[in-house]
Structures are given as structure tokens and as C-alpha cells.
């Protein structure tokens, strides 16, 4: 597969517990934010997005929180499952810059049974 073996911060979480993954973004002008999940050997996959005029958005088992004051984004996963083990990336974009999508450094989540 395409496992890159990234040197990343790792979050270990017990199956069934909630996970919180944090991300600091760089551009205060960014107007759209996305969380991606990358499983070993695969390309990143869209999880959830949020626009800059919102501070919270919920999906199925996932919630994204946006704090523009401190340029912070978080992803909460409820009742974490083994299938949630992956690397999670936040990404930011700016429509005025042609929707150029820039990724953060990533966090590895390991779910312990």
C-alpha cells in the first residue's frame, strides 16, 4: 500500500471513548475548512467541512468546531471505533485564492480494543 510512515503526533483512544483532534491553521483569511481521514495505503477521504461563518457543524458521529479568534479547528469523534484508526488532516482554503487547499500536519489516531 501507500503507507508513508509519517512522523506525526499520535492520539491513542479506547474503543467507545470520544476522540478530539486539534488543528491550528495558518491563514486568518481562510474561509472554508475541511477534515480528511487517511487510512493506510489510501488517499485522504473527506469527513466533514465548515465555513468560516460557522463555529460548529455536526455530522454522523463527528463534530467540527471552529474558533477563528485563535485560528483553531477541532474534530470530535463520538464513540470511536477500530475503523476510525487513521491519520486525520485538517485543511484550509480561501475562495479568493482559487480554492487552493492547504493541509495541516496531521494526527494519527490509534483505537485500542
Partner 1 sequence: DARVTQTPRHKVTEMGQEVTMRCQPILGHNTVFWYRQTMMQGLELLAYFRNRAPLDDSGMPKDRFSAEMPDATLATLKIQPSEPRDSAVYFCASGLLTGANTGELFFGEGSRLTVL
100 in contact with partner 1 (CB under 8 A): yes
102 near partner 1, rule: CB under 8 A:
yes
Task: State the pairing for strand pair 10-14/107-112.
Answer: parallel
Using the minimum distance from each CB to partner 1, give the nearer residue, 3 or 18.
Answer: 3
Q: Does 44 participate in binding partner 1 (rule CB under 8 A)? A: yes
Nearer to partner 1, 45 or 67 (CB): 45
From candidates 22, 49, 78, 108, binder to partner 1 by CB under 8 A: 49
Q: Per DSSP, what are the bridge partners of residue 101? A: 93
Question: Residue 29, interface with partner 1 (CB under 8 A)?
Answer: no
Q: How far is the CB of 89 from partner 1 (least distance, A)?
A: 6
Binding residues for partner 1, rule: CB under 8 A, are 2, 4-7, 31-32, 34, 41-46, 49, 51, 89, 93, 95, 98-106
Amino acid at each position: 500500500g501507500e503507507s508513508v510512515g509519517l512522523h506525526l503526533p499520535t492520539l491513542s483512544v479506547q474503543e467507545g471513548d470520544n476522540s478530539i483532534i486539534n488543528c491550528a491553521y495558518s491563514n486568518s483569511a481562510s474561509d472554508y475548512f475541511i477534515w480528511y481521514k487517511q487510512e493506510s495505503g489510501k488517499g485522504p477521504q473527506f469527513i466533514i467541512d465548515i465555513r468560516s461563518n460557522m463555529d460548529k457543524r455536526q455530522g454522523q458521529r463527528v463534530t467540527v468546531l471552529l474558533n477563528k479568534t485563535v485560528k483553531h479547528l477541532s474534530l470530535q469523534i463520538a464513540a470511536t471505533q477500530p475503523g476510525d484508526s487513521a491519520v486525520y488532516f485538517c485543511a484550509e482554503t480561501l475562495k479568493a485564492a482559487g480554492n487552493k487547499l492547504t493541509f495541516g500536519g496531521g494526527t494519527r489516531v490509534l483505537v485500542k480494543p
